[in-house]
């Protein structure tokens, strides 16, 4: 057991297909709005699918300086915009972010993949001379946290955790670990992802993409919709937050990680790693499964994921049907950013007691015997919520959020 400090969420920022900023995002989720639309980022042509939860009308210059916009690819632009919103939401002074005591930990799946695709396209069609050399250094995925650290004057821990579709949970959990261990006082953390032609086509080729809508846990679900966005949290030690008089939104609870070691894209059929990760998140929060009020599901809308996730819920919670919901029915699967955006919603649930809906849930699936918050938001107990994520590579990551004062002092010690 390690000595720990409490960690609180004090600010959040969102770039999503449902809107910019945590309030617009949350209101759209509660209204059951869909971020799905025809793809405009590229010509989907013969790919076979043309709907995605694309962010339209994002203007980097609304949030970034001209130099920042030039230096950053679209993925980093999302991240930096969301981070600025989060910092403003936290009401934190620039002096409180400058220096070595601020960590920046970011998740993603493919980072600035559009940069390399654009450069390569130039090379393929027009030769090496057509490649814009000054753009080459912008590809580094490590730049995600560095752009943010530079913007806020942070000079300590910077890390990119490309944990595929569980990257948000990986990043927030690891950042909280660093604060608990006393290596940082505050962290800017979350994840960012963009839609890119290659990755869109890849998901279609895997047979994972639905034609029009994503219906998690529904018997007739046909797959996921690809999405994009960024969710960023400002998290702080209790001492730091209290000292500056911050408004505390929620406490970051424990988290659990595991690896299925089964298949590179498919979850373990009995959710071995996922069960372990969820139990660890509960245990390391210092609570029992009976204390969990709501689960923000991974809920991709694919046959395999939803079935396994429902199975895992049964294994962890036994006969108690803990309400769960998948926002991917509205914002699509934002891959690396998915669990970061879901973390934002978890915090909103902790604050408001409202569970966001799973839209498109029409026909219960006997293989998914779970209490789905179907088609309309639901009010409920909101002391502790879990954010569940699974990912390529067999990654499983679960993160807990709680009302301040609910979790025991030992939270995060194991």
Partner 1 sequence: MIPMAITGFGVVSPIGIGHDEFMAAVNDAEGSKRRAFTSKSTVLPPETFPDARVAEALNFDAVKHLGDKGLRNFDRLTKMMIVAGKLALEDAGVKKNGEYIALKPEQVGIISSTAYGSLEAITELNLVAELEDPRYINPARFPNTVINAAAGYVSIWENLRAPNVTIVDGNCGALDAILSCETHLAHGRADAFLIGGGEALSEPLYRAFRMLGVVCEGDATWEPGDSHSNGMRLGEGAAYMLVERMDEALARGARLRGVLAGYGTAFDAPESEAVLVHPSIDAVTRAVRAAVKDAGIQPSDVDAVVASASGIERFDAAELMGLSRGLREDVLIAAPKAMLGETFGAHGALGMACALAWLEGAEPSPVLSGRARDRINHVVVTTTGYYGNVSAAVLRRAS
177 binds partner 1 (CB under 8 A): yes
Q: Which of residues 231-270 bind partner 1 (CB under 8 A)?
A: 256-265
- Minimum Å gap between C-beta 166 and partner 1 is 9
Q: Which of residues 68-87 bind partner 1 (CB under 8 A)?
A: 71
Q: SS3 letters for 290-318?
A: HHCCEEECCCCCCHHHHHHHHHHHHHHHC
- Range in contact with partner 1 (rule: CB under 8 A) among 79-87, 158-166, 226-234, 314-322: 158-166
Q: Give me the 387-406 binding string for partner 1, x by CB under 8 A, dash otherwise.
A: ----xxxxx-----------
Enumerate the β-bridge partners of residue 189: 105, 233
- Minimum Å gap between C-beta 129 and partner 1 is 10
Contact 22, 14 (CB under 8 A): yes
Contact 82, 15 (CB under 8 A): yes
Distance of CA 193 to the CA centre of its chain: 9
Q: Is 125 marked active-site?
A: no
Q: Give me the 338-377 binding string for partner 1, x by CB under 8 A, dash otherwise.
A: ----------------------------------------
- Range in contact with partner 1 (rule: CB under 8 A) among 15-23, 194-202, 238-246, 375-383: 194-202
Q: Which of residues 31-60 bind partner 1 (CB under 8 A)?
A: 45-48
**Among the listed residues 400, 370, 63, the one whose alpha carbon sits nearest the alpha carbon of residue 255:** 400
Of the residues 240, 268, 333, 382, only one is catalytic, namely 333
Q: Is 126 marked active-site?
A: no
155 binds partner 1 (CB under 8 A): yes
Cα Rg of the chain, angstroms: 20
Residue 373 CA to residue 395 CA, distance in Å, equals: 26
Residue 30 CA to residue 25 CA, distance in Å, equals: 9
Total residues contacting partner 1 (rule CB under 8 A)?
85
Residue 398 CA to residue 170 CA, distance in Å, equals: 9
Token output for 145: 């946290």
If residue 232 lies in a helix (H) or strand (E), which one and from where to where? Answer: strand 229-237
Candidate list 146, 248, 304, 351; residue touching partner 1; CB under 8 A: 146
131/351 with CB nearer partner 1: 131
95 binds partner 1 (CB under 8 A): no
Contact 206, 265 (CB under 8 A): yes
284 binds partner 1 (CB under 8 A): yes
Candidate list 64, 86, 90, 157; residue touching partner 1; CB under 8 A: 157
Q: Is 333 marked active-site?
A: yes
378 binds partner 1 (CB under 8 A): no
Site of tokens 């989060």: 86
- Range in contact with partner 1 (rule: CB under 8 A) among 8-16, 126-134, 305-313, 361-369: 126-134
Q: Which of residues 206-225 bind partner 1 (CB under 8 A)?
A: 206-207
- Minimum Å gap between C-beta 67 and partner 1 is 4
Site of tokens 């914002």: 331
- Minimum Å gap between C-beta 282 and partner 1 is 14
Candidate list 26, 170, 217, 317; residue touching partner 1; CB under 8 A: 170
Give the chain's length: 414
Buried b (16+ CB within 10 A) or exposed e, 277-295: bbbbbbebbbbeeebbbbb
Residue 16 CA to residue 404 CA, distance in Å, equals: 27
Of the residues 240, 276, 298, 382, only one is catalytic, namely 298
- Range in contact with partner 1 (rule: CB under 8 A) among 31-39, 159-167, 224-232, 361-369: 159-167
CB atoms within 10 A of CB 110: 20
407 binds partner 1 (CB under 8 A): no
- Minimum Å gap between C-beta 162 and partner 1 is 4
CB atoms within 10 A of CB 211: 11
Site of tokens 């998740």: 107
Question: Known catalytic residues?
Answer: 165, 298, 333
């Amino acid at each position: 057991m390690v000595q720990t400090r409490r960690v609180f969420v004090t600010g959040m920022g969102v770039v999503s297909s449902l809107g910019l900023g945590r309030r617009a995002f949350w209101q759209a989720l509660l209204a059951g709005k869909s971020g799905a639309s025809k793809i405009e980022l590229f010509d989907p042509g013969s790919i076979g699918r043309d709907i995605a939860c694309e962010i339209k009308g994002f203007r980097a210059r609304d949030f970034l300086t001209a130099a920042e916009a030039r230096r950053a690819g679209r993925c980093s632009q999302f991240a930096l915009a969301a981070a600025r919103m989060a910092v403003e939401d936290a009401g934190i002074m620039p002096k409180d972010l400058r220096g070595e005591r601020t960590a920046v930990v970011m998740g993603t799946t493919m980072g600035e993949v559009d940069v390399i695709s654009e450069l390569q396209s130039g090379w393929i069609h027009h030769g090496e001379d057509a490649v814009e050399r000054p753009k080459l250094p912008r590809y580094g995925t490590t730049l995600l946290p560095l752009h943010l650290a530079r913007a806020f004057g942070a000079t300590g821990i910077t890390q990119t955790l490309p944990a595929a579709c569980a990257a948000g949970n990986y990043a927030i959990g690891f950042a909280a670990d660093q604060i608990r261990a006393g290596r940082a006082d505050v962290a800017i953390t979350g994840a960012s992802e963009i839609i890119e032609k290659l990755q869109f086509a890849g998901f279609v080729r895997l047979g994972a993409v639905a034609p029009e809508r994503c219906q998690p846990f529904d018997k007739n679900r046909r797959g996921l919709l690809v999405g994009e966005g960024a969710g960023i949290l400002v998290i702080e030690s209790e001492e730091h937050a209290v000292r500056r008089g911050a408004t505390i939104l929620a406490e970051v609870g424990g988290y659990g990680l595991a690896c299925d070691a089964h298949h590179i894209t498919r979850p373990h059929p009995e959710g071995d790693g996922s069960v372990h990760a969820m139990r660890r998140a509960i245990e390391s929060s210092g609570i029992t499964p009976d204390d969990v009020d709501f689960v923000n599901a991974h809920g991709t809308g694919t046959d395999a994921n939803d079935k396994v996730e429902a199975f895992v819920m049964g294994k962890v919670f036994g006969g108690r049907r803990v309400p769960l919901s998948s926002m991917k029915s509205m914002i699509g699967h934002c891959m690396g950013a998915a669990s970061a955006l879901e973390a934002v919603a978890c915090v909103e649930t902790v604050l408001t007691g409202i569970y966001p809906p799973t839209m498109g849930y029409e026909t219960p699936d006997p293989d998914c015997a779970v209490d789905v918050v179907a088609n309309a938001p639901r009010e409920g107990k909101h002391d502790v919520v879990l954010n569940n994520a699974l990912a390529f590579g067999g990654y499983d990551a679960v993160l807990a959020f709680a009302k301040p004062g609910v979790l025991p002092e030992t939270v995060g010690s194991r």
